Structure 1
Amino acid sequence: MEWKTYYLDMILVPLGFLMTIGYHIWLWHKTRSEPFSTSIGINAHARRFWVPTMLKDIEKKNILVAQSLRNLIMGSTLMATTSILLSAGLAAIISSTYTIKKPLDDVIYGGHGEFMVALKYVTLLTIFLFSFFCHSLSIRFLNQLSLLICTPQDVMSMVTPDYLVEILERGTTLNTIGNRIFYSALPLLLWIFGPVLVFLCSLAMLIVFYNLDIVSESGKKEKIVLSDESNYV
């Protein structure tokens, strides 16, 4: 009887997760092997040139640097705040003694028992906490970069352009990971209404991700040729 109640949750929800994880493994491999075919690879390559370019004339470009880093920090701060607020709300729901009503029991497929409801909210809470953790670390690295990039090179010889690029890469990579973790929780929000919606939303998210991540052949021809370097991330 339990299997008949939960079998859709046990099949469709993990399948949606596996599709998302498989896509990002494929995207990571494609970014490493063909960096200029993905927006992540192109952006990573551009960041390697951004820091040395800013350092060449930092006295005139310090405002541009501050504004660019501020925009990155504000984006991470917004996502971190959203994640922790959602985590606090979910924690309040989990710890509440109020019985959560089962939504549309006779219409939505899947399990609606107390264990399944608790599993849904705990899973969402865990994902949002991981997203908050990644964005918090991203803010930490970007704040560090904003201080070090204006440090005179002759005063602190250890603050090299390569070191600053490494800090920028860590901050932006953590920001990207935090965003992807946050987006992976969106299908799970629909799990409250049944596993079928989770699977369909996961498919829709993959289509959106693919169109955002992969650079079309026509688009690549119009881009500026950067170089043949292939070591990224």
Structure 2
Amino acid sequence: MEWRLYYFDLLLVPSSLLISIAYHIWLWRKVQSEPDRTIIGLNSTISRRWVITMMKDNDKKNVLAVQTIRNFIMAVTLMATTTMLLCCGLAAVISSTYSIKKPLSNAIYGADGEFMLGVKYVILLLIFLFAFLCYSLSVRFINQANFLVNVPLGQSAGNASSPVTPEYVWQLLGKGFLLNVAGNRLFYTALPLLLWIFGPMLAFLCSATMIPVLYNYDFIAHEDEKVDRGLKV
């Protein structure tokens, strides 16, 4: 095996993955330390208040609670279906006897052997399978919260004291939201790896470009930051 043919793949692809991993570690620390500045932390706070409001005024807002959670389940189901379709397509390519490296050999600037292409497809398949697992678990927790959100406070199967509290329902929703975020981030991570089929340079450029896009999506600019940006302009 001539390792010089794999030089760009061994250098650029791990670098692109390390960039994504470092960003998400930093994002998780920000969620823990400054939750109000991140979309994930803000959604967690809002969802807790939403659950308390829905369960306290259950007689008037039970339909609204079910419809809201149902819309979220539909969005997660769509992503899970898309992920599984991609898994089926990758599995069909891996099991196919057709040589796929010939039409791509002129577009690849890294290793273009059958072994390397097989590694690329297997890694993509594993990432999409893990994303599908996260989406499936997310639907499971959200469905459970969908049943419990309409349980009247202090009543459960005729008992005076109920273990179903707004805090418990919020924890179920929080697990579902976090698993959905994990599935989305795995899905986003697979996008640069899809471009890896055409070369490691495209994978690295795509991963580096996604970081500022995700930053603008994950963080909320406060009013003072908006004023500073306006003054700079």
Q: TM-score, normalised by structure 2?
A: 0.91
d(CA) in 1 for partners of 2:20, 2:55: 39
CA contact (8 A) 1:16 1:199 kept: yes
The equivalent position to 1:183 in structure 2, one of 167, 188, 208, is 188
d(CA) in 1 for partners of 2:193, 2:54: 42
Structure 1 residue 155: Cα displacement: 2.8
Q: Which residue does the alignment assign to 2:60?
A: 60
Gaps of 5+ in 1: 223-233
The range that moved more, 103-112 or 16-25, is 103-112
Distance 1:103 1:6, change over 3 A: farther
Q: Which residue does the alignment assign to 1:171?
A: 176
SS at match of 2:155: coil
Structure 1 residue 138: Cα displacement: 0.4
Aligned residues: 222
d(CA) in 1 for partners of 2:223, 2:192: 32
- String of CA shifts for 1:65-100, please: whole Å, max 9, x gaps: 111101110111001001111001101111112211
CA contact (8 A) 2:101 2:113 kept: no
SS at match of 2:154: coil
Q: Which letter maps to 1:168?
A: L
d(CA) in 1 for partners of 2:83, 2:107: 30
d(CA) in 1 for partners of 2:76, 2:224: 28
Q: Which letter maps to 2:92?
A: A
Q: Which residue does the alignment assign to 1:127?
A: 127
The range that moved more, 195-204 or 94-103, is 94-103
d(CA) in 2 for partners of 1:219, 1:190: 39
CA contact (8 A) 1:134 1:174 kept: yes
Q: Which letter maps to 1:205?
A: M
Distance 1:190 1:215, change over 3 A: same
Q: Which letter maps to 2:4?
A: K
CA contact (8 A) 1:37 1:220 kept: no
d(CA) in 2 for partners of 1:36, 1:14: 32
Gaps of 5+ in 2: 157-161, 228-233
d(CA) in 2 for partners of 1:133, 1:168: 17
d(CA) in 2 for partners of 1:140, 1:47: 18
Aligned identity (percent) is 57
Distance 1:140 1:27, change over 3 A: same
Q: Which letter maps to 1:199?
A: F
Structure 1 residue 179: Cα displacement: 0.6
Within 5 Å, which residues of 2 pair with 1:81-230? 81-156=81-156, 157-218=162-223
CA contact (8 A) 1:16 1:202 kept: yes
Structure 1 residue 64: Cα displacement: 1.1
Runs of 4+ in 1 over 6 A off after TM superposition: 219-222
Structure 1 residue 44: Cα displacement: 1.0
Distance 1:219 1:36, change over 3 A: farther
Q: Which letter maps to 2:124?
A: L
Structure 1 residue 4: Cα displacement: 1.7
Q: Does 1:11 align with 2:16?
A: no
d(CA) in 2 for partners of 1:103, 1:26: 40
d(CA) in 2 for partners of 1:60, 1:73: 22
SS at match of 2:88: helix
CA contact (8 A) 2:77 2:135 kept: yes
Structure 1 residue 107: Cα displacement: 4.5
Q: TM-score, normalised by structure 1?
A: 0.91
Structure 1 residue 152: Cα displacement: 2.8
